[in-house]
Structure 1
């Protein structure tokens, strides 16, 4: 019996020793501390990491004494109160100070050990040294930042190149159109036709590249304007029916009776998506028909969900290639690319334009039988009276340009020549100016009805010229139409600010210019002032409906801070909520002081440390905007950016600190 007892005792002793050894030399640190933060137990691992002997810490030092200033503040104001409330806290980062004043990144988990009989409650923390992980994360973030910068540089370069190409392309397209309308022999007509066809193809390619670069650079924004869907789709049918009939293919339009006439959304992007899909359908269909169908999925009060389908009887797509067709510069096969041409960008752009609007592009196809591309979009129904602009445009015979004068303002003599040739053909009077200064001089002497204004001019650009035109005290205010290689969506706000009425992108077809002139002439004849005001309300309409229609995955306006997380943590208990707010007020004030000190010394590492220290406090009050601004200041100092940019970033930071501090102060006193 004694022998067995001793054996069991020896086994227990071995187990206990093994357990103690496991605890003392575990791969993670362990510490037990009291309510006042005093450390009452610690394993060898943590003592070794900190560079102390255990007797220099246990019953001598508090846990917060191993944290930096920001960590101490956070421990007292957030970390410890939260442990007391819920009894635990998981995975929070702290920088822990070693004996030699260096630090390591620690990930801390804490649980409360409840009080028993005469023993008070204590807290046990498990600590992991994640310095290597943080360094790896830092490298990953740097790699991500570099990749994003490279992507932006690529997109900006592509946009610049595309922009530069469009200016001479305007001349090629313009000359091609002018040449085509002159007396020519059969060979010359064929040359002109080939020139026009090639320039239109090149324009389509450049537009696709430009759109892709804008999407990748996140510079493409949605517009919210009222438009007539029936008119949009009818015009598309008229345009593409000619191309379809040339191939012996019928283009059909099926519009359900319950589809609203006028809706509010982005007609330009819808037109672009349908243009790509219809163009592709015609390209890959040799016989049969192409059907464009629009139907109502759901209609609730002033909202409608529409389904768009483009179906063809063309070559179809192999099942294994259905996914790859949406990739940039990709087509179903090399043979398809050779036989049918194209870059494979149309579907990619359509897909990304739909994603921008919170939708998806779907495809179903059978080889040698045809394909169907479909998507759904939400719109607000516009129940106001039908827009009569398109009706007015169709009354060609009612428009006379006898008493109409146009001012062409462009620093490029080729652009002036082409536009002037068009106006000569239409017997419309005009004057020309090669600079904004010359245009102002002309307007002081003679009256014009419409100004065609280039935006990219040296010395005085189009925006500045428009502002100066609007400042003139003219008896008759002209309509100002900007024409440039940029699209309207890119410059919408600048156009409105400068007092510019409309926009015509380069290169343009002569019919586009004629329709625009005809529209403004007609509007002038039929209550022009009222109509023009409605055109200028585009931006207001956009703002009014943007919030209502914007997809949930789009970026929203960033607020300075929110107490939502605190309210959840406090379970809406005012006592706890005030305590959290009070502690945050103190922390924000301290952080602001550290921020100013670091800026004064241009201390990048100090800013980096502050950003790290403040992360959790700012996370809990949803003040990530302030974190981003502080990072911006740090980056500007690190890269020796211009003083102007740094000053703007610092001012933004100071404003955020002030907004948050005052907001928390008011919330505390409620």
Structure 2
């Protein structure tokens, strides 16, 4: 019942009680009034007022008769006259002086008659009290006076009788009214008492119902508690056990009757936790402080009757009762759950170890396969620059394409794992579609000739020129589609059509349609051709070989490029695979060539740290042919020493080396104060597992270059790491918007303030640490973003992150990077 309902119920009870008391008081009051009326009626009868008035007239007649008799006789009976006169006089005196006649005397008619009678008596007293002679002489006069007053006496008696008759009527009416009021009050009291009886009856019925409901609830609660799979223990503030359900008996091994009244700490709390339990109970007794009660589930240890310790999940709630505060504990034996979790953790650890072993295996296999491939492809690249014939050059090109295809297979298997884990990253760069596609067709020309199949490609519509894409992802898509078409086509044709099918001028969507007139694909297999390890079930498939991964890799890489791959096919008619993806158009070929020339024309002093002699030789020769000077180091320690003494423009760092590996060498170079501490470092690694790539970058490496190394990759690395120094470090579009927004004067003022802020920040940078460094870097990063200095902004955000994590080595290297970036920003602002 709510507090409001309880207040209303109490209010009704108080009202009924007050009303009853009021009615009882009214009954008592009116009963007393009736009693007084009755007493008055009784008093009137006792005095016999009406009899007295009647007697006045009788006594007057007796006196008149005695007087008449005395007049008729000589020497009449004077004694009788005097006696009757005195009796009459006495009656009148009673009327004059009696308290009962006080109201009557106030009546106008009665008082007039009484005055006349009193005057008669007064005049007669002189004769009555005189001598006999005087009385005898006056008898006739007295008789005459008596005759004259006789009507007054009669009128006096009659008016008195009338008065008392009216008074009696009034008293009867008053008595009747009092009785009526008393009746009404009694009736009201009866009604009220009846209502009270009904209300009490209703309360009694309700109370019985509530009692039944309470009993039912208690029975249900007892049933729930007794059948609960969780242990339920109820204890008072002293810790004495009041309830101990069946589940508690099964969990702890105690019978309920054996633990009732015992302290809960002695029954279920282990020895090493008793001190804390008793301290908690004492706190609750003293100040009501609760650390576990009402704070949800907690996991603790408990003890069984046999002394066995086991984990329990515990939740405690409290409740106020008339007997004081009670504590209800809900306990669950979680031994099996904890054991299962431990088993899961062990299984997880084993799985992680297995995954780690797999990653290590992939890393080793990648390194072991890529290292000889690097030497093979590198030497083929160098061989092309020698004086060889046309046929030999073609053979070398085919060998190089096949080697790169082998490399692509290795990379594809590794990248499937990277793609499925969501960690496959793109490396978009300028590329031309035509030579790229021609190389792919050349790599398949040998198999096409063996199948007597013609290969050709054609633009459908206008060529888009140079685009920005990731050739490392694009190549497996198209190569697998073309290779799949060549594989299943004999004595036919494979045709690749390229067409711009959508998008804008700067971001066109290109569609590559690889069509063949081979054997086709069965309709029921069309939905599965892009699944892993799926191969066709056709007559010469087994002779064509294949792992069934090619189209799966093509689908993954197509999606990574933001595109799709679909297929249409008819048995005996051939198939058409369609790859569609967005591209970005860039500068024309002449501009791209100019950029490469710019990179080539700037001689660089480069350090190559590589333990494999062939790979080191390949890198050295390629870089020298590009016009750069090269210093070699056979291991990480030698590379660190060289970087200490010489200021290199760029360092190529192999990762897996003896004595000191590339990651440790990089960290050592960055943390030192050597001449090449801030030089760009490009990692050379055959290990392309994403987790290792991220770890390598976190060591302070600028870029990761996967083996095998080619001239193109080296040129791209030089462009990406070195060439940005000659590029704009400010976003001109953003600066233009800022100029239009602020106007010339405001724009120049803003740039001046930014320069001042940058100079002040860079001047204080060496001394900034901790919170000051975080706040200053964060503030200046906001200004850099507003100006459009994205490289400066990123460097500042990196510094802020390193400062928050307390990564001292990275903080120092990033500070040095900031000095270089700010110098370029300041130069452009000038």
TM superposition score normalised by structure 2: 0.45
The one of 81, 87, 99 aligned to 2:305: 99
Secondary structure at the counterpart of residue 325 of structure 1: coil
Q: How many residues align?
A: 486
Structure showing greater relative contact order (alpha-carbon pairs closer than 8 Å, 6 or more residues apart): 1
The corresponding residue for 1:80 is: 293
Residue 570 of structure 1: aligned partner:
none
Q: What displacement does 1:207 show? A: 1.7
Identify the residue that residue 509 of structure 1 maps to in structure 2: 710
CA distance in 1, matches of 2:326, 2:678: 80
Deviates more, 1:416-425 or 1:74-83: 74-83
Alignment-derived partner of residue 457 in structure 2: 249
**Does 2:615 align with 1:415?**
yes
Match of 1:203 among 390, 407, 413: 407
Q: 2:527 aligns with which of 297, 318, 322?
A: 322
Contact 1:294 1:308 in 2 (8 A): yes
Contact kept in structure 2, 1:208 and 1:346, CA below 8 Å: no
| Pair 1:289-2:497 in alignment | yes
Q: 1:124 to 1:483 in 2, by over 3 A?
A: closer
| 1:195–1:52 distance in 2 versus 1, CA, 3 Å | same
Q: Judge which range, 151-160 or 140-149, deviates more.
A: 140-149
Q: More deviation in 416-425 or 46-55?
A: 416-425
SS of corresponding position for 1:147: helix
CA separation of 1:413/1:363 partners in 2, compared to 1, >3 Å: closer, same or farther? closer
1:177 to 381, 398, 404: 381
Q: Distance in 2 between matches of 1:308 and 1:347?
A: 21
Q: After the TM superposition, which residues 336-347 of structure 1 pair with which residues of structure 2 at under 5 Å, given as runs?
A: 339=544, 341=546, 344=549, 347=552
Gaps of 5+ in 1: 1-17, 84-88, 297-304, 548-555, 561-670
> Which residue of 164, 179, 182 corresponds with 2:368?
164
- The corresponding residue for 1:661 is none
Which SS does the other structure have where 1:504 is aligned?
strand
Alpha-carbon distance in structure 2 between the residues aligned to 1:523 and 1:29? 68
How far does residue 57 in structure 1 lie from its aligned partner after superposition? Answer: 1.6
Larger radius of gyration: 2
List runs of 5+ in structure 2 lacking aligned partners: 1-218, 282-288, 446-454, 486-493, 732-783, 806-830
Q: Quick one: which of 246, 249, 262 aligns to 1:47?
A: 249
Alignment of 1:616-631 (within 5 A): none
Q: Residues 148, 442 of structure 1: CA spacing in aligned structure 2 closer, same or farther, 3 A cutoff? A: closer
Q: Larger % of helix: which?
A: 2
CA spacing shift, 1:540–1:163, aligned 2, 3 Å? farther
- Shift in CA distance, 166/131, structure 1 to aligned 2, threshold 3 Å: same
Partner of 1:588: none
* Counterpart position of 1:458: 658
2:261 maps to 59
C-alpha distance in structure 2 between counterparts of 1:307 and 1:374, whole Å? 7
CA contact (8 A) 1:254 1:294 kept: no
What is the aligned-residue RMSD (CA, Å)?
A: 6.0
Distance 1:149 1:435, change over 3 A: closer
Superposition pairs of residues 459-608 of structure 1, within 5 angstroms: 459-462=659-662, 468=669, 471-473=673-675, 480-487=681-688, 490-491=692-693, 494=696, 498=700, 502-517=703-718, 526=726, 541=794
CA contact (8 A) 1:290 1:311 kept: yes
**How far did 1:507 drift?**
0.6
Aligned-pair CA distance for 1:205: 1.9
Contact 1:392 1:522 in 2 (8 A): no
Once the two structures are superposed, residues 380-409 of structure 1 have per-residue CA deviations (whole angstroms, 9 ceiling, x without a partner) of x9xxxx999994554556666496555544
- What are the within-5 Å matches in structure 2 for residues 130-141 of structure 1? 130-141=334-345
CA spacing shift, 1:271–1:318, aligned 2, 3 Å: farther
1:171 is displaced (CA, Å) by 0.5
CA distance in 1, matches of 2:440, 2:345: 50
- Equivalent pair of 2:235/2:242 in contact (CA under 8 Å): yes
Q: 1:39·1:63 contact (CA, 8 Å) conserved in 2?
A: no
Aligned-residue offset at 1:244? 5.1
Where 1:367 maps in the other structure, the secondary structure is strand
Any idea what SS the aligned residue of 2:254 has?
Answer: coil
CA deviation vs aligned residue, 1:260-301 (integer Å, no higher than 9, x gap): x99xxxx8xx665544433333334433535686759xxxxx
Corresponding residue number in structure 1 for 2:60: none
SS at match of 1:99: coil
* Structure 2 counterparts to residues 320-469 of structure 1, below 5 A: 322=527, 325-327=530-532, 329-331=533-535, 339=544, 341=546, 344=549, 347=552, 351=556, 364-368=566-570, 369-371=575-577, 391=591, 393-395=593-595, 401=601, 406-423=606-623, 425-426=625-626, 430-435=630-635, 450-462=650-662, 468=669
1:153 pairs, out of 349, 352, 357, with: 357
Instruction: Report if the CA contact (8 A) 1:277-1:310 is conserved.
Output: no
- Structure 1 residue 443, shift from structure 2 partner: 7.7
Q: What is the alpha-carbon distance in structure 2 between the residues aligned to residue 351 and residue 64 of structure 1?
A: 64
**In the TM superposition, what is the alpha-carbon distance from 1:140 to its structure 2 partner?**
3.7
1:240 alignment partner in structure 2: 437
1:23/1:43 contact within 8 Å kept: no
Aligned-residue offset at 1:81: 1.4
- Report the CA distance between 1:204 and its aligned residue: 1.0
Contact 1:170 1:506 in 2 (8 A): yes
Q: Report Cα offsets for 1:44-76 as digits up to 9, x if no partner.
A: 453243222323322323389625549969999
Residues 465-522 of structure 1: CA distance to partner in whole angstroms, max 9, x if unpaired?
6655984458x99765443324597456755755x55443221222222454577786
Tell me if the contact between 2:236 and 2:326 (Cα under 8 Å) persists in the aligned partners.
yes
Cα offset, 1:165, TM superposition: 1.9
Deviations 1:5-25 (A, max 9, x none): xxxxxxxxxxxxx99998898
Per the TM alignment, residue 458 of structure 1 is displaced from its structure 2 partner at its CA by 3.1
C-alpha distance in structure 2 between counterparts of 1:445 and 1:81, whole Å = 68
Q: Which moved more, 1:154-163 or 1:460-469?
A: 460-469
Say if 1:28 and 1:126, in contact at 8 Å, map to a contact too. Answer: no
| 2:651–2:679 CA contact under 8 A, matched in 1 | yes
**Residue pair 1:276, 1:346 contacting (<8 A) in 2 also:** no
Contact 1:237-1:251 at 8 Å conserved across structures: no
